[in-house]
Amino acid sequence: MNLDELKTSYQQFADKNLSLNIERGQPSNDNFDLSLPMLTAVDETSILTDHGIDVRNYPGGVLGITEARELFCQQIGVGPDEIILGNNSSLELMSRIFSWALLNGVNGGSKGWAGDKPKMLVTVPGYDRHFTLVKSLGFELISVPMTESGPDMQAVEALAGNDASVKGLFFVPTYSNPTGDVISDACAEHMVTFSPAASDFTVFADDAYAVHHLQDTPPPVPRLLELAKRHGNANRVIIFGSTSKVTFASAGIGFAGMSADNIAFWSKVLFTQSIGPNKIEQWRHVRFLREYPGGLPGLMKDHAKILKPKFDVVQEVLNRELGNRDFATWTNPKGGYFVHLRTHEPVASRVIELAADAGLTLTKLGATFPDGKDPENRTIRIAPTRPTLDEVKQAMALLACCIQLATLEYRQNS
Ligand SMILES: Cc1ncc(COP(=O)(O)O)c(C=O)c1O
């Protein structure tokens, strides 16, 4: 289509008074409905766990109940003794660990990080809440590129190898937000073997999408903690996860996987803040997932049945409208919650503006960069999980139209 035809097509979308939103990665109501039986999975007849813990009372420990630890350790690829359960959010657990690290350091470090003007390596494009969290705690953020095989480890090593104020690497190892990339064996190995200047340099792996596969045979993902142990660096790795996109977002369970040594260290620290996390929630999850056909993997397969058609539509529309033409490139993730699109020309801001004016909300420009600024004005994050399939279809057709229109406008004016 030429510019005039695109303007007409865009106007037709605008005339429809659409109200579409592919801004944030939230589950759909159909996804939530799969977990509805969890709401009644604990009642007055089931207040004792298998190990005889009364979920109404304090005793039970800061690590979480055994049954839930045995269940969720599988989600992030650690052993049952290598997981600590939190409350409803992994971000909250991350913020507790980062805050205490600033005050007291981490296991193996004798003093708090705050005095060192600490720096945190973050992958870009990445997750806006990671950036906000560590920045608001006072870390200086240093961007390293996210590649198809994980964080650019040459860059990580160059930055952390000589600077002891670089305290950690914060990234998403499986189906990264927003690119959908999965770390390779070589990347994982590099991460747990290189020599950082800070003896307490920590790999903070936010494995939010560890089990969120879109295909039946998921790619093997390296087990970071196992690898770190094999190389004698067990304490270097902390892996976060949650059930926010397994059961209920904001009403699930957050957790962290780490070495036995780190468990001993962090459980003492976290015990100063709370006698223990919500056991009723943990027990409900265990009882619900025991009954679910196929357990946790069965539930994730049912989620994929709802999500995959939406991701397929994203690819279909983008291929049909923009394929083999010079407008954009995009990822085709095998799991997770996002597709990352890069426009060929620096027009992301204009695309977002055109889409908004025609009734489609996209993720804010620059949200996937630490300072909220996309230096190239090319990145668009697509989050197709929350709307219905039909809404995703409409949203993608409109987005494709906006990308073409913004690109031709740009080319005409430059
Ligand atoms: C990479 C990543 N980590 C963490 C979260 C939020 O997790 P939680 O609800 O457990 O705090 C999200 C939500 O979008 C995410 O994309």
Please determine, looking at this structure, whether the domain spanning 37-291 carries the CATH number 3.40.50.300: no
Ligand 1, atom 6, residue with closest C-alpha = 91
pLDDT at 285 (0 to 100): 98
Q: How many angstroms separate the alpha carbon of residue 129 from the centre of ligand 1? A: 8
127 lines ligand 1 (CB under 6 A): yes
Q: What does the pLDDT read at residue 120?
A: 98
Domain 3-25+297-413 sits in CATH 3.90.1150.10: yes
User: What is the 55 CA–ligand 1 centroid distance (Å)?
Assistant: 26
CA distances from 51 to 55, 68, 71, 130, 171 (A): 11, 12, 15, 37, 36
What is the average pLDDT value for the chain, to the nearest integer? 97
Q: Tell me the per-residue pLDDT of 368-411, one tens digit each, with 9 for 90 and over.
A: 999 899 999 999 999 999 999 999 999 999 999 999 999 999 99
Give 3-state DSSP helix, strand, coil % of the chain, rounded to 5: 40, 15, 45
- CA–centroid distance, residue 241 to ligand 1 (Å): 8
Q: What is the pLDDT of residue 219?
A: 85
Q: Answer whether 172 contacts ligand 1 (Cβ < 6 A).
A: yes
Please say whether the beta carbons of 78 and 225 come within 8 A. Answer: yes
- Domain edges within the chain: 3-25+297-413, 37-291
CB-ligand 1 contact for 259 (6 Å cutoff): no
Residue minimizing CA distance to atom 16 of ligand 1: 177
3-state secondary structure 292-353: CCCHHHHHHHHHHHHHHHHHHHHHHHHHHHHCCCCCEEECCCCECCCEEEEECCCCHHHHHH
Q: How far is the CA of 26 from the centre of ligand 1 (A)?
A: 10
Q: How far apart are CA 267 and CA 164, in angstroms?
A: 26
Q: Where are the alpha helices (DSSP H) in 51-204?
A: 66-72, 90-104, 128-136, 153-160, 185-193
pLDDT digits (tens, 9 = 90+) for 1-59: 999 999 999 999 999 999 999 999 999 999 999 999 999 999 999 999 999 999 999 99
What would the pLDDT profile of 244-287 be if each residue is shown by its tens digit?
Answer: 999 999 999 999 999 999 999 999 999 999 999 999 999 999 99
Residue 260 C-alpha to ligand 1 middle, in angstroms?
25
